[in-house]
Structure 1
Amino acid sequence: GYNWFHFLKNYHFGGCLADDMGLGKTIQTLALLQKHKEDTEEAGSSGTSLIIMPTSLIYNWLNEAKKFAPKLKMMVHTGTFRYKSPDVFKNYDVVITTYGISRIDIDLFKEYFFDYVILDESQNIKNPSSKSFQSVKLLKSRFKLILSGTPVENSVNDLWTQMSFINPGLLGTQQFFLNEFVTPIEKKKDEDKARRLQALIKPFVLRRTKEQVATELPPKTENLFYCQMSEEQAEVYEKIKSEYRNELLKSIEEGTYAKQHIQVLQGLIKLRQIANHPGMIDAEYEGDSGKFENVVHTLANVLDGGHKVLIFSQFVKQLTIYREYFEDKGIPYVYLDGSTKNRGDVVQRFQEDEKTRVFLISIKAGGVGLNLTQADYVFILDPWWNPAVEQQAIDRTHRIGQTKNVFIYKFITKDTVEEKILALQQRKLGVARALITTEESFIKSLSAEDIKEILG
């Protein structure tokens, strides 16, 4: 990765480092900046680089920098008392800030000429009309790099903004890119176009998968766990399902189906919640949940074996049900969702405290930049539309530095939408693997037939 950076630097190209999660994009970048500092100082000058990242990663970057590049002078430009003028930047090698702040302070940043501008988790700028993209386009620098494990989260179109940031003009205007590549590849599944696009961006994108490089990573084993609904649960489920199904079939007949995406989504979310635990949609619900019983039972076995577990769900309500249970049973746990402020402390407690062996994480919050190598079990409580996000969750534990084998349990409730989502995921993954994309936005790509099948 490091050599490739130098190839780009010599030819003044921008690049996208898209290695799989856990392969050390942060460290490769720090090595580059360290070497860049040495070269610049040898040449008798100095320069400052800027790294923009999601807020949740700042702690991680500083930590790694302390460990791997202690000579780099880092300045964190966030918080209410941050500097209001760019003059201080020149006293540092690296300035770190967040996407949010870079938007607010763009007038200050664009005054300064940086050596490198680096975007971490660059899928944050995938929307060309977003403020984030508009403002990073105004930054001035000699070199540009982006880091992202998933440069294409939903659509091939995600590539355009990220590529036009590092190498403006490479993929033409956005309209051209849409007509020339996005539409043929996504709508017509045009293999030639996909190959042409790959050839175009290949020199500027370095992507290595775990399987290719890290023979030193212990293998991960995935297990599917099928859960039976309890009787009361099945009753609630059937009732809600037939309500939605009748409504949808009616709309398909009347041809208003296309307008119903939101309803479809709401219906599916509700059914997924019931499949997990009906208590999530009905606080009065007294019965039990098949999946909950299974998870608790499996968890007891894992904890008895002295292991540490990450439990992911995308529903905060579901995590709340588990929190209440753990408190009731006196099981020590840590918890993290989007609103958690002291992430660093929470992670540290889980990594270092013997007794804290359970970590509940909301997938949305925990998807980014957490190092949780102490855990050797991962429970995924609900399958996700987007396999890429699920992969991110698994990769939290499966990083370099992990010496144990990682076991992943996915809990699926039988005879519910969850099982159908899984089948659809399997079908779609073929498409996803073929491109560097991870998945087109799932709901939009569902035909009326797919929906009928899901609600069947």
Structure 2
Amino acid sequence: MPVNEGKCESPVKDEEDEIKPSAPPLQVITWARIILDEAHNIKNPKVQTSQAVCKLRAGKRWAVTGTPIQNNLLDMYSLLRFLRCSPFDEYKLWKAQVDNGTKKGSERLNILTKTLLLRRMKDQLDASGKPLVSLPSRHSCTDRLKLSEDEQSVYNVLFTRSRSALQSYLKRCENKNDNSKKCSDNPFDKVAHEFGIENSNPSAHRRSSETSSTVHILSLLLRLRQCCCHLSLLKMTLDRVELESEGFSLSLEEQLSALTLSEVATPDTSSTVSLNGTNFQAEIFENTKKSTKITSLLSELETIRNSSQKQKSVIVSQWTSMLSIVAVHLKKYGYTYATIDGSVNPKMRMDLVDEFNTNPKGPQVMLVSLCAGGVGLNLIGGNHLFLLDMHWNPALEDQACDRIYRVGQTKDVVIHRFICEGTVEEKICELQAKKKELAKKVLSGMGDTFSKLSLADLKILFGV
């Protein structure tokens, strides 16, 4: 994992700040040094965690993270605010002088980066030419899959519905010439959040019609992504935790309007399911049915199981419901497995990790949710990692991969990615590449211009 440190001298404002009688105990103390590990967790300056750590008083401040920029330059601002890097810890000045899309702003950011950043990479060499960290090789392979006929048919129905919803939204915006600025200023608050851009409070009860349309389209987009994994995910109600991980929330009415999937009576004995008015055989929506990705996953696992070397695998998905489906098929084919998600308490989590890493007869496969397993887990007992689905934020995927590719790993590591051709997943790859390029330019100090992901990205996804 690359390590990034920033530090500055004791800020004057810490000495001048008056301590309020009602201040929390940690804010009363003036610390000699504060080291903020996993500092990317404060990337949103509006959340309470970010605000709380920035109020702490200290002589020196360090921020340590492997992913200082996950989405856009706002992530970097949050770190500078914690570090008290005056005057750029003031948001208005930051936007005016740095994050303004100009060459001059880019130059200022490069100076800040070179001054504050100490970066260490796994493949970096020391002065004598030896690796800083001795690790085995790492390989990444992308399996480009083609949806089955049934899956493609369901996907086409959902895609048509989603594309139509987006086109309707765009048309409404175009017709509001009198209020064009409102449309341009609020072009998908929820999309902005999903792509990591500042957005309004997703739990707010009062939403404009534009925002409501946005949430509706994003719920359909979520279903398109799930459709690429397993059709049975479409039967499940959108869970609140699942929605929060996506960066938005839906009312019950919005959930029902986002997708209509119901069993219908037919003259014959076969069970039929109606998806937005199109009928399909109900069996293709059962979790026991093999999807394209499940079939490919099982094939790879069988190859690993039959190899001469004892190897274990880690399977990652952003949806716990997908992990449950995988578990059904693992059990059917005789694989031993364990699951780590948000419902597993810390003590049990460490026991599962130890069993996986140290016991050769322990679980052959570890199922990990992206949010729960992205950080803080050492899973070096496995040397194959499977990313079943794609997330908007490539940094989360990279952190998940680092669970097995870290100090202590003795076997060659293979990262497997599954992408369904001709689907929204291919478009997500393009958006991920943009974010990675942004982070690369900033961290290397070579960036000339910076761009934010916007409504234009939605148009790319749906070919509008």
The answer as to 2:258 corresponding to 1:250 is no
Specify the alignment match of 1:417 in structure 2: 424
Corresponding position of 2:323 = 319
**Contact in 1 for aligned 2:70/2:394 (Cα 8 Å):** no
Aligned residues: 349
Instruction: Indicate the SS of the match to 2:235.
Output: coil
Structure 1 residues 350 and 111: CA distance shift in structure 2, 3 A? same
Q: CA deviation at 1:238?
A: 0.9
Q: Which consecutive segments of 4 or more residues in structure 1 shift more than 4 A?
A: none
TM-score by length of 1: 0.70
8 Å CA contact retained: 2:375, 2:399: yes
Amino acid aligned to 2:335: I
Counterpart for residue 212 of structure 1:
124
Q: Distance in 1 between matches of 2:426 and 2:78?
A: 35
Change (3 A) 1:243 1:375: same
Partner residue in 2 for 1:80: none
Per-residue CA deviation, residues 69-103 of structure 1 (Å, 9 max, x unaligned), is: xxxxxxxxxxxxxxxxxxxxxxxxxxxxxxxxxxx
Superposed displacement of residue 407, structure 1: 0.6
- Answer yes or no: is 1:299 the counterpart of 2:217: no
Which residue of 2 is the match for residue 267 of structure 1? Answer: 220
Cα 1:431–1:298 change in 2 (3 A) is: same
Q: Kindly provide the CA deviation profile for residues 349-372 of structure 1, in whole angstroms up to 9, marking residues without a partner as x.
A: 110121312111111111112112
User: CA 1:157–1:451 in 2, change beyond 3 Å: closer, same or farther?
Assistant: closer
Q: Distance in 1 between matches of 2:51 and 2:435?
A: 32
Distance 2:422 2:229 in 1: 12
The residue type equivalent to 1:264 in the other structure is I
Whether contact under 8 Å (1:123, 1:148) holds in the other structure is yes
Q: State the superposition RMSD in angstroms.
A: 2.7
Counterpart among 110, 114, 117 of residue 198 in structure 1 = 110
Aligned residue among 377, 382, 390 for 2:397: 390
1:382-430 CA-to-partner distances (Å, cap 9, x unmatched) read: 1221111111111111112222211111011121111221133234433
The TM-score, its normalising length taken from structure 2, stands at 0.69
Query: What is the match of residue 141 of structure 2?
Result: 223
Sequence identity percentage: 31
CA offset at residue 334 of structure 1? 1.3
Alpha-carbon distance between aligned partners in 1 of 2:50 and 2:298, rounded to the nearest angstrom: 44
- SS of alignment partner, residue 407 of structure 1: strand
Q: Which residue of 1 aligns with 2:359?
A: 353
Cα distance change of structure 1 residues 302 and 179 upon mapping to structure 2, 3 Å threshold: same
- AA aligned to 2:217 is V
CA distance in structure 1 between the aligned counterparts of 2:410 and 2:82, rounded to whole angstroms: 38
Q: Deviations over 1:159-178 (max 9, x none)?
A: 22322322342415211101
Name the CA distance, whole Å, in 2 between partners of 1:159 and 1:427: 17
Structure 2: which amino acid aligns with 1:208? Answer: R
Distance 1:168 1:200, change over 3 A: closer
Aligned residue in 2 for 1:430: 437
Alignment of 1:134-153 (within 5 A): 134-153=51-70
Structure 2, unpaired ranges of 5+: 12-21, 126-131, 175-182, 188-209, 237-281, 445-450
The Cα shift of 1:431 comes to 3.0
In the alignment, the residues of structure 2 paired with residue 444 and residue 178 of structure 1 have an alpha-carbon distance, to the nearest angstrom, of 13
SS in 1 for 2:295: helix
Amino acid at match of 1:182: D
Separation of aligned partners in 2, 1:146 and 1:221? 30
Q: 1:331 to 1:119 in 2, by over 3 A?
A: same
Q: Residue 236 in 1 paired to residue 132 in 2? A: no
Take 1:246 and 1:107, find their aligned partners in 2: how far apart are those partners? 51
Aligned to 1:79: none
Q: Deviations over 1:40-90 (max 9, x none)?
A: xxxxxxxxxxxxxxxxxxxxxxxxxxxxxxxxxxxxxxxxxxxxxxxxxxx
> For the structure 1 residues 116 and 429, does the alpha-carbon distance in structure 2 shift closer, same or farther, using more than 3 Å as the test?
closer
Letter paired with 1:277: H
